[in-house]
Amino acid sequence: MRHFLDISDHSSEELQDLLDLAVRLKQEYFAGGNPPLFKGKVLAMIFQKPSLRTRVSFDMAMRHMGGDALYLSPNEIGLGKREAISDVARVLSGYVQAIMARVFAHEHVLELARWSSVPVINGLSDYSHPCQAMADALTIQERFGKTKGLNVVFVGDGNNVAVSLMQISVKLGWNFTIANPEGYDMPAAAIEQARQVAAQTGSKLAFLRDPHEAVRGAHVIYTDTWVSMGQEDETAKREAVFPPYQVNAQLVSEADKDVIVMHCLPAHRNQELTDEVADGPHSVIFQQAHNRLHAQKAILARLFGVA
């Protein structure tokens, strides 16, 4: 791997290899610690958006493996405003061994990769969230094993998290369903790309409006905030549209008895996800958050070429 920008860039085999490596690194960590494979490596972390999980998980992944991380706030760089993205990429390439960027526009992370001579990781963009999808897949495999034909259901906005979840589901042979309101569909190009992969892996895709229909037989129910960062001006409109898509005890009861409930966090509790579900027996939201650390160690190790 040269960069990690989008799940669709990688084969099913490459993604499963990364997940297997994440399992091994997680086991090592809990057995006494990871070896310092990242010694002498520094990860530059560019942020256009606030972050808890992305910042801390990448920082700690580097520390656990003997490396270091450098936080660059929105005010320090002004990506594409204070300085051209091409210049930022080429300057940082002379200082650090990899760049992680959490941005608004997907084109920004693509341009960083275009000009960088070190690996670039998409820590989140408006199009996709591939690092989150890797943690999600690790969590699902920990619960169900490497099972083909699992029913993964996303309830809510067809956003960047939904896109990456769909991408990794079809790559790993899981069925993917989304239930979302009209006007909040995933990008058509992402859907077409997923259809092509599903034709090869045997996954089934479904795009529905009714969340109750969607969760029948679901092994995974996934939701996300109704209003993402950068959409604050749409808050009132979205809060009027999305209440029927709340993941609550009634909706969970209509799925498979062993269903797990996932959320990438931060959650607006008792909006898209009720407290009863978030803190209930089906929830894996904190295991999922913790797995960001281990999945990202695997991504970094492959990009550094040390594992």
The one-letter code for the residue type at 188 is A
The one-letter code for the residue type at 266 is P
Instruction: Count other C-beta atoms under 10 Å from residue 106's C-beta.
Output: 17
Given 10, 108, 219, 292, the catalytic residue? 292
Given 224, 263, 294, 296, the catalytic residue? 224
- Let me know the angle formed at the C-alpha of 271 by 268 and 274, rounded to the nearest 5 degrees: 90
> What does the alpha-carbon distance between residue 280 and residue 72 come to, in Å, rounded to a whole number?
37
- Let me know the angle formed at the C-alpha of 16 by 262 and 176, rounded to the nearest 5 degrees: 45
Q: Is the dihedral of CA 212, 197, 4, 83 positive or negative?
A: negative
Given 3, 10, 64, 102, the catalytic residue? 102
> What does the alpha-carbon distance between residue 132 and residue 161 come to, in Å, rounded to a whole number?
7
224 as an active site residue: the answer is yes
The two structure tokens encoding residue 93: 């390439």
Given 129, 219, 294, 302, the catalytic residue? 129
Given 64, 108, 264, 294, the catalytic residue? 264
> What does the alpha-carbon distance between residue 78 and residue 80 come to, in Å, rounded to a whole number?
6
The two structure tokens encoding residue 90: 């080429």
For residue 273, list its beta bridge partners: 247, 269
Given 48, 59, 131, 132, the catalytic residue? 132
The one-letter code for the residue type at 76 is E
**Which of 133, 144, 135 is CA-nearest to residue 171?**
133
What 3-state class would DSSP assign to 123? strand
Task: Give the β-pairing of 120-124 and 98-102.
Answer: parallel
264 as an active site residue: the answer is yes
87 as an active site residue: the answer is no
Reading phi first (left if > 0) and then psi (alpha if -120 to 50, else beta), residue 277 is in: alpha
132 as an active site residue: the answer is yes
Give the 3-state secondary structure percentages of the chain, helix then strand then coil, rounded to 5: 45, 15, 35
Residue numbers annotated as active site: 102, 129, 132, 224, 264, 292
